[in-house]
Amino acid sequence: MSDRYQDFVSSPIGSFLAKNLGLPAPTKLERYDEGAPLVDGTVAVGGRGRLAESLPGLLDELGIASTQDADPQQRFKGLVFDATGLSSSADLVALRDFFTPLLRSLDTCPRIVVLGTPPESVAGGERVAQRALEGFTRSLGKEVGRGGTVQLVYVADGAEGAVLSTLGFLLSPKSAYVSGQVVRIGAHGVTTAGEVVDWTRPLEGKVALVTGASRGIGEQIARVLHRDGATVVGLDVPQAASDLQVLMKELDGDWLTLDITGHDAPQRIAHHLTEKHGGVDVVVHNAGITLDRKLANMAANDKGDRFAKVIEVNLTAPERITRELLAQGTINDNGSIVGVASIAGIAGNVGQTNYAASKAGVIGLVDSLADELDRGITINAVAPGFIITQMTAAVPFATREVGQRLNAMSQGGLPVDVAETIAWYASPGSTAVNGNVVRVCGQMMLGA
């Protein structure tokens, strides 16, 4: 499923027309290939604060080359700035002093990360300065261009040693379609990271449940978690059993077919995971449906009750399953729960009151449980924007083109972009990443 517009503007005549007519000219995004280095180039490190001295060593642990003495004549694949030391609004000029000389020295598809202190944990001028970082990074994300991304990572005091997995994700092509995001590390009490023996297979020995796993985004989630070492248990409806079994056999995984809205579904899932795998380490609630119609035309006596059905599949079922797995102790220590929300749950969408409510509810589930979980278990969500799938390929051409261009990268994402974000959440190195909602949307112009 290629982007025909992007293919066209990459051609000689298309490039000429795009330049002269002021049309978007999206850069082909670099994505991670198994076995490749996390960063193909050098990362320039700057700033002053709690992490400045340790950053080169952390990056070296990930196999990422870095320098603290950046020469604008060099080329850089990434920039990391420690802004935790900014304690007043006057200090914000340090951002300009570091970034402005280096922005023209960036390679294609560069990664920029700013590290800060959670504003809610400080007061006075420091709180002002730290909150200002959000406006800076989101604006820079819309300026950097050439397939570049910009993120802000708020690191709680004491969580400095837990940033490794997040830096590895945000500085690598794994985060190709993630930009303009704010990530919090250590915001819900846990400030330490679990041990990762092999950063190329961080999920080795882990068991991952993926619902809606037979195709589309779910299939890519299963593939990426398997790549990272997990034994995948794919779950889908009985109608998808054939495709599900073929995929799980390919991945040396396990499968379970049932309707997640069934009254005994949570108990059946818990029993299967306990009896066959001794529990589960990663739970990904990916299964979902859309039944679009404007609310005025969505009466309760409609065939299938569009509103109630979408809420039941997308929200009530994941909530029931999560609470049952927690109640039975099926989720192992330091386990990870990930919900698949949507940009629609943040910005809303015409004809999707049911879908947007369900996806906002997934975010609500994250908010509800983030402070309640124990044993090192985390809960986070991804909120995809326009992701190119078989389903979006059926959208009318004009609508599809507008949907793909309304972001800082002027293109749609791929299912693997969602999967890579989930794999980052699932890593044992991300145990201090809890209660986050990260949009995988190329930094959409709406719903920021």
pLDDT of 83 reads 98
Say whether pLDDT at 448 is over 60: no
For 84-98, 237-251, 397-411, which range has the lowest pLDDT when averaged over its residues?
A: 397-411
Say whether pLDDT at 161 is over 90: yes
Question: Which residue type is seen at 251?
Answer: L
Q: Which of 94-98, 189-193, 349-353, 402-406 has the highest mean pLDDT?
A: 94-98
Q: Is residue 119 part of a domain?
A: yes
What SS3 class is residue 101?
coil
Say whether pLDDT at 303 is over 70: no
For residues 321 and 356, state if they share a domain.
yes
Q: Is residue 446 part of a domain?
A: no
Q: Where are the alpha helices (DSSP H) in 144-286?
A: 164-170, 216-227, 241-250, 265-277
Question: What would the mean pLDDT of 11-33 be, rounded to a whole number?
Answer: 80
391-425 tens-digit pLDDT = 766 666 667 777 788 899 999 999 999 999 999 99
Q: Is residue 139 part of a domain?
A: yes
For residues 405 and 261, state if they share a domain.
yes
What SS3 class is residue 204?
coil
- Mean pLDDT computed over every residue of the chain: 93
pTM, to two decimals: 0.95
Residue 79 belongs to domain with CATH number: 3.40.50.720
End position of a domain, from candidates 154, 185, 216? 185
Between 63 and 399, whose confidence is greater?
A: 63
For residues 139 and 11, state if they share a domain.
no
pLDDT of 446 reads 66
Say whether pLDDT at 248 is over 70: yes
For residues 179 and 255, state if they share a domain.
no
Is 355 an annotated catalytic residue?
yes
Q: Alpha-carbon distance 38 to 148, whole Å?
A: 15
Burial of 238 (0-12, 13-18, 19+ CB in 10 A): exposed
Q: Is residue 425 part of a domain?
A: yes
For residues 176 and 213, state if they share a domain.
no
Q: Alpha-carbon distance 378 to 126, whole Å?
A: 29
426-436 tens-digit pLDDT = 999 999 999 99
List the domain range (segments joined by +) for residue 165: 31-185
For residues 259 and 399, state if they share a domain.
yes
333-384 tens-digit pLDDT = 999 999 999 999 999 989 999 999 999 999 999 999 999 999 999 999 999 9
Question: What would the mean pLDDT of 240-254 be, rounded to a whole number?
Answer: 98
The residue among 193, 198, 191 whose CA lies nearest residue 61 is 198
Query: Could you identify the residue written with the tokens 């507008």?
Result: 402
For residues 228 and 283, state if they share a domain.
yes
Q: Is residue 109 part of a domain?
A: yes
Question: What would the mean pLDDT of 270-277 be, rounded to a whole number?
Answer: 98
pLDDT of 394 reads 63
Say whether pLDDT at 183 is over 80: yes
Contact 72, 102 (CB under 8 A): yes
pLDDT band at 8 (very low <50, low <70, confident <90, very high): low
Q: Angle at Cα 155 formed by Cα 78 and Cα 194, nearest 5°?
A: 90
* Cα 416 to chain centroid, rounded: 10
For residues 88 and 105, state if they share a domain.
yes
Q: Is residue 190 part of a domain?
A: no
For residues 316 and 429, state if they share a domain.
yes
pLDDT band at 22 (very low <50, low <70, confident <90, very high): confident
* Cα 286 to chain centroid, rounded: 13
For residues 360 and 290, state if they share a domain.
yes
Q: Is residue 421 part of a domain?
A: yes
For residues 21 and 121, state if they share a domain.
no
In the chain, how many domains are there? Answer: 3
pLDDT of 301 reads 73
pLDDT of 412 reads 92
Say whether pLDDT at 269 is over 80: yes
205-221 tens-digit pLDDT = 999 999 999 999 999 99
Single out the catalytic residue among 5, 32, 154, 355: 355
Q: Alpha-carbon distance 180 to 133, whole Å?
A: 11
Question: How many percent of the chain have pLDDT more than 70?
Answer: 95
Question: What would the mean pLDDT of 134-158 be, rounded to a whole number?
Answer: 97
Question: Which residue type is seen at 352?
Answer: Q
Q: Is residue 118 part of a domain?
A: yes
For residues 14 and 35, state if they share a domain.
no
